[in-house]
Amino acid sequence: MKKMVVLLLVLGLLLSAVPTFADDEKIVVSRWAGDHADDMKFVAENYNAANVVIDDIGYENLRQKQIQSFSTTGDYDVIYFQEIWAEDYIRNGWLAPLDEYIEKSGLDISTFSPSFVEVNQADGKTYGLPAMTHTYIMVYDGAQLEKDGMSIPQTPEEMVALAKFYKEKGSGISIPAGQGQAAADVFSTILFGAGGDYFDADGNLALTSEPVLYASKIWDDLCKYSVDGATTWLNEEAADAVRTGIAPFGITISDTNFLDLNPDRSRIVDTVVYSPIPPRNDLVGLAGVWSFGVAANSENKEAAFDFINWMIAPEQDKAMALLNSQTSALASTAADPEVASKFPFMAAASESMLKAKYNPLNPGASELMPALQAALSEIATSDNNPVDVLTKLQSDLESIVTSK
Amino acid sequence: MPVVFLMPTIVVVLLVMIFPLIYGIFISLFDYHIGMKITSDSFVGLENYKALLYDKVLHRAFLNTVLFALLANLGELTFGTLISLTLLKCKKGIADFVRGLCTMPLLVSPIITGFIWKYMFDPSFGLVYWILGFFGIDSSEFPGLGKPTTALLCVAFTHWWQITPFVVLVVTSGLLSIPEERLEAANLDGASGIELFFLIMLPALKNVYYVVLIISGVDTIKVFDLIYALTQGGPANSTLSLSIYSFREAFEVYHMGYAMAVSVFLMITAFIIFGLPFIHANSSQEE
């Protein structure tokens, strides 16, 4: 019996000597679940300054769960959020300003593209630090283009001409023209590249402005010369069509391009070529960005920031890029020779986002996107004149949608 | 004393059904967004319901929903009955095998069914156009999910594929419950097959059809997953259902109060179209 007591005491002493993190060193990260979350967990295992718990849940429930935590439960310290939620999170005071921590840590935020930083700023304060980005780029079967004597288009008109050429040969361009956000994103990219926007300088809806009508004509032509079925496709099908050889080229979201390089999924591994979507004027791509922020109701704000600062550092950022093909917000990661040779699409994606813009982010514009999606679908699937469709949309929405 | 035994059920019903329903109706009276605190400032009374009257997208969604419910139920009852009658004429072994095979679509969830048929209907990837190709039909002649004119029909077809087996099972059991003597008597009296069906079988199947209409009818009026996977409401809102519209308003536009008003409207629609006839049929039977 005595031996047993002594053994238990020794065991207790040994266990107490094992280093454990104090309760206040536990950092809970809220993000969506999937391969990217698993890779983040793998990288975060090397973080020694705190016990990091990554609470990953389905994307469809993420925003609701984060807001619930902001409003009541306070479960999270680090918030992984996308740009379309930023304005709401900042306006409601759910994110803590990071300026004090940035200054204290000596972090140089000028290493990020300004558009990725500005989207998380309000009233001169920074509320989030960018990590992962995505945009829309062109993907080509270079061998097919070469065989047909075609070259990579430099303007939207050349892109339409190339689509027409291949449509007449029985295929066409692959685009995500099904009713949904992907179609609206491609349209925004064409619009931003034409120097336009959805609102005029006074913040009024401007769907009948010249650049919007120009973009709608390009959209109409692309749909007309798209592969059969593309008017029901979302991002995945559009990307699949190019990599399986159904279409010789297409417009794809950069999140899907890593599969072009997988021999089990792609027939264009050795011939794939990427470029930005050709602009009418300057190259201004549409960006999506996921950023890290600190919950305003976190009790471990400093520790939370320290983890973010570690996670977005070039070493971890490169590790995430190599593991998950994430298009980094750090230009240095995309330009890294190892990353660039493993994922050649990153160069085109980074180039597209050098001067990036976003879909309207303010609450006054929240009704625009669903209505635009339906209008773009109407243009894609009917003979209706795109100018008439957008003029009607302008008259339906101008009294309710504003950039203010 | 009986109330005590009923308490667990009453509590569950109150918590799971009555409370969310009242809360939903309550939220529909506010200009409410997720995360917002409900205050008197955000109280808008019946404004969300008034807005339903002027919302053109909602009107389109309502029309689509009712049309889909009609198409879906008419089709599944017609095909289900025809298949049941055909199987009754077949040899027992073959009929049992086909019935077993028929139940397979029932085991697939609607969202998976939607994804499967989305690919089946795809002119570039899908099986449907490969088969139609043998008859010289391509996507320009039958655009399938790609055009507003045919998209809702394709959605209804997918619903038939999944739900008709259920109707086959229920109608078959209804047909088998008809006394053999009655059918034999009608045969001896020289009744034709059509007379046999309309005068003997159909009246006997009345209650079966009520059950199917209630179960499937309510399912079709609140359809979400099947359409979401197939078309997301497109093209050009031609398959947008009230449930998808409510979801969009809640989680894409973040108008939770308005989304709740749409949901309440959907509930009332389902009650008027399928609930009231059911209550009426029940009370007539009791009388």
Check if B56 contacts A (Cβ < 8 Å).
Answer: yes
For the segment B172-179, the average pLDDT, to the nearest whole number, is: 92
What is the per-residue pLDDT across A358-388, written as a single tens digit (0 to 9) for each? 999 877 778 899 999 999 999 999 999 999 9
For residues A45 and A69, is the Cβ–Cβ distance under 8 A?
no
* Among A293, A237, A250, A248, residue whose Cα is nearest residue A271: A248
Outline which parts of chain A fall under CATH 3.40.190.10: 20-134+287-352, 136-286+362-397
In chain A, the residue whose alpha carbon lies closest to the alpha carbon of B234 is A179
Task: Specify the range with the lowest mean pLDDT, choosing from A100-104, A183-187, A340-344, B58-62.
Answer: A340-344
CA of residue A281 relative to chain centroid, distance: 23
Reduce the DSSP state of residue A196 to 3 states and report it. Answer: coil
Do residues B174 and B211 make contact, with C-beta atoms less than 8 angstroms apart? Answer: no
User: Between helices A59-68 and B242-251, what is the axis angle to 10°?
Assistant: 50
Q: Which amino acid is at A189?
A: T
- Angstrom distance (rounded) from CA B68 to CA B242: 11
Cβ of residue A401 closer than 8 Å to a chain B Cβ: no
Number of domains into which chain B is organized: 1
Tell me what pLDDT residue B36 has: 74
Two structure tokens written together for B11? 């509590």
Please judge whether B232 and A371 are an interchain contact, meaning their C-beta atoms are less than 8 angstroms apart.
Answer: no
Please state, in angstroms and rounded to a whole number, the distance separating the CA atoms of residues B180 and A276. Answer: 74
Tell me, yes or no, whether B92 lies in a domain. Answer: yes
Chain B contact for A64 (CB, 8 A cutoff): yes
B113 Cβ under 8 Å from any chain A Cβ: no
CATH 3.40.190.10 fits A136-286+362-397, yes or no: yes
Interface membership of B232 toward A (CB under 8 Å): yes
Helix ranges restricted to H, A114-209: 114-118, 142-147, 156-168, 181-193
The pLDDT score that the predictor gives to residue B22 is: 95
Domain of B92, CATH number, reads: 1.10.3720.10
- Residue corresponding to tokens 């491609």: A186
Q: Please list every residue in chain B whose beta carbon sits closer than 8 Å to the beta carbon of residue A92.
A: 35
Q: What is the mean pLDDT of chain B?
A: 91
CA–CA distance, A378 with A385 (Å, rounded to integer): 10
Identify whether B16 is part of a domain: no
Reported as type and span, the H/E element at residue A351 is helix A345-352
Q: Which of A60, A220, A228 would best serve as a mutation to test chain B binding (most B beta carbons within 10 A)? A: A228
Per-residue H/E/C for chain B: CHHHHHHHHHHHHHHHHHHHHHHHHHHCCECCCCCCCCCHHHECCCHHHHHHHHCHHHHHHHHHHHHHHHHHHHHHHHHHHHHHHHHHHCCHHHHHHHHHHHCHHHHCCHHHHHHHHHHHCCCCCCHHHHHHHHCCCCCCCCCHHHCHHHHHHHHHHHHHHHHHHHHHHHHHHHHHCCCHHHHHHHHHCCCCHHHHHHHHHHHHCHHHHHHHHHHHHHHHHCCCHHHHHHCCCCCCCCCCCHHHHHHHHHHCCCCHHHHHHHHHHHHHHHHHHHHHHHHHHHHHHHC
- The answer for residues whose C-beta is within 8 angstroms of residue A254's C-beta and 6 or more apart is A134, A135, A136, A137, A327, A345, A346, A348, A349
- Contact assessment for residue A307 and residue A50, using Cβ atoms and an 8 Å cutoff: yes
pLDDT of residue B153: 97
Read off the pLDDT of each residue in B204-226 and give the average, rounded to a whole number: 92
Can you tell me the distance from the alpha carbon of A346 to that of A350, in angstroms, rounded to the nearest whole number? 6
- Interval A279-285 mean pLDDT: 94
Angle, in degrees to the nearest 10, between helices B110-120 and B148-176:
130
Q: Which of A87, A357, A83 is nearest to A197 (CA)?
A: A357
* CA–CA min distance B37, chain A (Å): 9
Q: Name the pLDDT band for A4 (thresholds 50, 70, 90).
A: low
Check residue A17 and give its pLDDT. Answer: 47
Question: Does residue A388 sit at the B interface (CB-CB below 8 Å)?
Answer: no
A329, A109 Cβ separation under 8 angstroms:
no
Contacts of B241 (CB under 8 A, 6+ apart): B61, B64, B65, B68, B223, B224, B227, B233
pLDDT digits (tens, 9 = 90+) for A324-350: 888 889 888 988 999 999 999 999 999
How far apart are alpha carbons B226 and B239 in whole angstroms? 11
Whole-number percent of chain A with pLDDT over 90: 77
Q: Is the backbone peptide bond immediately before A314 cis, with ω within 30 degrees of 0?
A: no
Among B31, B38, B115, B124, which would you mutate to test the A interface (most chain A Cβ atoms within 10 Å of its Cβ)? B124
The answer to whether residue B5 sits within a structural domain is: no
Range of the domain at B162: 54-286
**Interface predicted TM-score of the whole assembly (ipTM), two decimals:** 0.87
CB-based contact A27:A307 (threshold 8 Å): yes
**Cβ–Cβ gap A228/B124 under 8 Å:** yes
B38 in any annotated domain: no
CATH number listed for the domain at residues A20-134+287-352: 3.40.190.10
Angle between helices B206-221 and B148-176 (to 10 degrees): 150
Let me know: does A317 contact A301? Beta carbons within 8 Å: no
User: Mean per-residue pLDDT for B73-83?
Assistant: 96
